[in-house]
Every structure is written in structure tokens, then in C-alpha cells.
């Protein structure tokens, strides 16, 4: 397999490359969960959107993976959710999958949380993201109960922790 090197950079949450990658993730998730969310009322959909929102003041760090030529390959954020540290918005563009980008981004979040004194890193995902679920398991995340703010609007979420 021809694998080109890539690097992980910490960037501002509003970095245009990070924003573009989050847009790619949003489009992908909209497609994957379209049928599952089809019967939602507008009010319920708004509640779910609120639960999923990440506010800049919560973000501890935003990382992007960049190819040798500077092409954005992936993105992840670490946020403070109350007293917890949460991995959010992990995405790897289709052309960069199976190159270790997702593992490297996940590792960057875990390492920063560890240095910040976290006891664990948590995350929320879903059954329509099997490649993400495989990555989290391979990285050492283990299942936990659904946690706030996802309990009401996404009770069938698949949530995980990585104990530091």
C-alpha cells in the first residue's frame, strides 16, 4: 500500500480547514442517519441538534491531520463536558482512510486529555458508523452507558470511555 506521510496539527476551532472537515462529517452523518431520523418532529430534531452542539468555549483543542502537501485529511476535537473530557467530531476523508489518520487523531486527543489531568476520555457514536466503532475498540475504548446530553434524544447511542 502506498502510504504518504501526514502530520497532526493543533489549530483554532474556527480554522477553515477544520470547519470544512466538520461539514464533510455533517453531510456523511446526515446521509447515514436520514432514515433513522425521518419520523422526528421538528421540536425533537431541534433538541437533538442542541444535544450535539459543540460550543467554542467548551473546546480544549482542535486537531487536523494534513497530508505532506497540506491537504486536510481528518479532524477531531477534545471538549470539556462538565467534569468530563469528550472526543468529538472525528472525521477522516474517504481518500485518507486506512492510513492511520483516525488512530493518530484519537491518540492526540487521549494524550492531551492525559496531560490535562483527565481520568478518562468519553465519546458518543452510533450503530450507523461501523468503521468508527472498530477504530474506538482498537484504540482501547470500552462501552459505557449513554450519558448526558444524549440520553433524551439519542438513547440508543453507543458510548465509550478510555480510562487514563
What confidence tens digit (pLDDT) does each residue in 129-144 have?
A: 999 999 999 999 999 9
- Topology annotation, domain 6-163: Aminopeptidase (3.40.630)
What confidence tens digit (pLDDT) does each residue in 30-49 have?
A: 888 877 766 778 888 888 88
Residue 147 reports pLDDT greater than 90: yes
The mean pLDDT value for 77-103 works out to 96
pTM given for the model: 0.92
Residue 51 sits at φ, ψ, to 5 deg, of -65, -35
3-state secondary structure of 97: coil
What confidence tens digit (pLDDT) does each residue in 99-119 have?
A: 999 999 999 999 999 999 999
Q: Can you say whether the dihedral through the CA atoms of 125, 131, 137, 143 is positive or negative?
A: positive
Residue 99 sits at φ, ψ, to 5 deg, of -115, 0
Q: 142, 161 in Cβ contact below 8 A?
A: yes
Amino acid at each position: 500500500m502506498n502510504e504518504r506521510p501526514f502530520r497532526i496539527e493543533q489549530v483554532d476551532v474556527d480554522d477553515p480547514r477544520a470547519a470544512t472537515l466538520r461539514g464533510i462529517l455533517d453531510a456523511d452523518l446526515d446521509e447515514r442517519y436520514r432514515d433513522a431520523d425521518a419520523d422526528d418532529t421538528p421540536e425533537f430534531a431541534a433538541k437533538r441538534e442542541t444535544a450535539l452542539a459543540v460550543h467554542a468555549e467548551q473546546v480544549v483543542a482542535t486537531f487536523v491531520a494534513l497530508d505532506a502537501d497540506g491537504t486536510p485529511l481528518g479532524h477531531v476535537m477534545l471538549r470539556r463536558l462538565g467534569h468530563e473530557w469528550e472526543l468529538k467530531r472525528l472525521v477522516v476523508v474517504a481518500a485518507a482512510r486506512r492510513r492511520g489518520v483516525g488512530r493518530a487523531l484519537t491518540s492526540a486527543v487521549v494524550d492531551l486529555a492525559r496531560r490535562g489531568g483527565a481520568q478518562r476520555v468519553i465519546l458518543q457514536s452510533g450503530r450507523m458508523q461501523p468503521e468508527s466503532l472498530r477504530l474506538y475498540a482498537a484504540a482501547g475504548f470500552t462501552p459505557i452507558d449513554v450519558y448526558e446530553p444524549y440520553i433524551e434524544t439519542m438513547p440508543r447511542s453507543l458510548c465509550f470511555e478510555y480510562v487514563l
